[in-house]
Structure 1
Amino acid sequence: MLHKRYSLDELDESSGVDLLVLGPQETCLGPHKGSGRPCLGEQIFALAVPKLWNDFYSQQPGAPWGFKRCCFFPAAKTGISLPTKQEKMKGLLSCCGLVSMLLLSISAQAETSALPADCTQIRTQSPQSPSGLYDLQPVGVNNRLKVFCEMRSAEGWIVIQKRTGGLLPFNRRWAEYRFGFGSLAYDHWLGLEKVYLLTKDETKKWTLRVDLWDTEGNTAYAEYRNFRLGDEQTSYKLQVGKYRGTAGDAIRGISPDMDENGFGFSTLDRDNDGCSPCLFYDILVEECIMLQGGGWWYSKCGSASLNGDWYSSGDHTSWSSGLRWTTWKTPKTSSFKATRMMIRPE
Structure 2
Amino acid sequence: MWTTYFILLLLTLLLFSACSENSSNFSHSETLNDEAPLKPPKSTVGAKGWDTCSIPCDITVKLLRDEKHSICGQLQQSLLAFGRSTRKLMRDVMEEQQRALDILSNQVAELMTKVQTLSSEVQRSNTEMYGIKPVQSHGRDCSDIKDNLWQWYLKSQVEFTLSVPKTQNPPLRFSRSWADYSDGFGNLAGEHWLGLKKVFQIVNQKDTRFQLHIALVSKDDITSYASYDDFHLDNETLFYGIHLGRYAGSAGDAFRGYDQDQNQDTAPFSASDVDNDGCNPSCLLGNRTVESCSGLHNQTGWWFNQCGLANLNSSPEDTESSQKTSILWDTWRQNGVAHDIKAVTMKIRRIPTNN
Q: TM-score range by the shorter chain?
A: 0.5 to 0.7
Deviation at residue 247 of structure 1 after TM alignment: 0.8
Note if 1:287 corresponds to 2:292: yes
Aligned to 1:176: 180
Aligned to 2:307: 301
SS at match of 1:300: coil
Aligned equivalent of 2:342, options 325, 337, 340: 337
How far apart, in 2, do the equivalents of 1:333 and 1:318 lie? 17
SS at match of 1:342: strand
Q: 1:186 to 1:235 in 2, by over 3 A?
A: same
Aligned equivalent of 1:253, options 257, 260, 280: 257
Superposition pairs for residues 102-251 of structure 1, below 5 Å? Answer: 115-125=138-148, 129=152, 152-153=155-156, 155-165=157-167, 167-251=171-255
How far apart, in 2, do the equivalents of 1:251 and 1:124 lie? 32
CA radius of gyration, larger in: 2
Runs of at least 4 residues off by over 3 Å = 123-130, 315-320, 329-335
1:253–1:259 contact (8 Å) kept in structure 2 = yes
Task: List per-residue Cα deviations over 1:77-124 (Å, max 9, x = no partner).
Answer: xxxxxxxxxxxxxxxxxxxxxxxxxxxxxxxxxxx9x93222123334
Aligned to 2:79: none
Counterpart of 1:270, as a letter, is V
Deviation at residue 329 of structure 1 after TM alignment: 3.5
Deviation at residue 127 of structure 1 after TM alignment: 5.3
Counterpart of 1:298, as a letter, is F
Q: 1:318 to 1:329 in 2, by over 3 A?
A: farther
SS at match of 2:316: coil
2:163–2:191 contact (8 Å) kept in structure 1 = yes
1:306–1:325 contact (8 Å) kept in structure 2 = yes
1:206–1:344 contact (8 Å) kept in structure 2 = yes
2:225–2:251 contact (8 Å) kept in structure 1 = yes
Aligned equivalent of 1:323, options 311, 321, 327: 327
How far apart, in 1, do the equivalents of 2:272 and 2:320 lie? 20
Deviation at residue 163 of structure 1 after TM alignment: 1.7
Q: 1:170 to 1:163 in 2, by over 3 A?
A: same
How far apart, in 2, do the equivalents of 1:297 and 1:172 lie? 14
Counterpart of 2:167, as a letter, is G
Note if 1:274 corresponds to 2:297: no
How far apart, in 2, do the equivalents of 1:261 and 1:201 lie? 20
**TM-score, reference length from structure 1:** 0.57
Superposition pairs for residues 42-57 of structure 1, below 5 Å? Answer: none
Deviation at residue 200 of structure 1 after TM alignment: 1.8
How far apart, in 2, do the equivalents of 1:316 and 1:327 lie? 23
Deviation at residue 161 of structure 1 after TM alignment: 0.8
Structure 1: segments with no counterpart, 5+ residues? 1-111, 131-150
Counterpart of 1:280, as a letter, is L
How far apart, in 2, do the equivalents of 1:335 and 1:272 lie? 27
Q: 1:202 to 1:122 in 2, by over 3 A?
A: closer
Deviation at residue 168 of structure 1 after TM alignment: 0.7
1:316–1:322 contact (8 Å) kept in structure 2 = no
Counterpart of 1:122, as a letter, is I
Counterpart of 2:221, as a letter, is G
Select the structure that is richer in strand. 1
- Structure of greater relative contact order (alpha carbons < 8 Å, 6+ residues apart): 2
How far apart, in 2, do the equivalents of 1:267 and 1:318 lie? 21
Seq. identity, %: 35
How far apart, in 1, do the equivalents of 2:167 and 2:188 lie? 15
Aligned to 1:14: none
How far apart, in 2, do the equivalents of 1:320 and 1:301 lie? 13
Select the structure that is richer in helix. 2
RMSD of the alignment, in Å? 2.4
1:316–1:334 contact (8 Å) kept in structure 2 = no
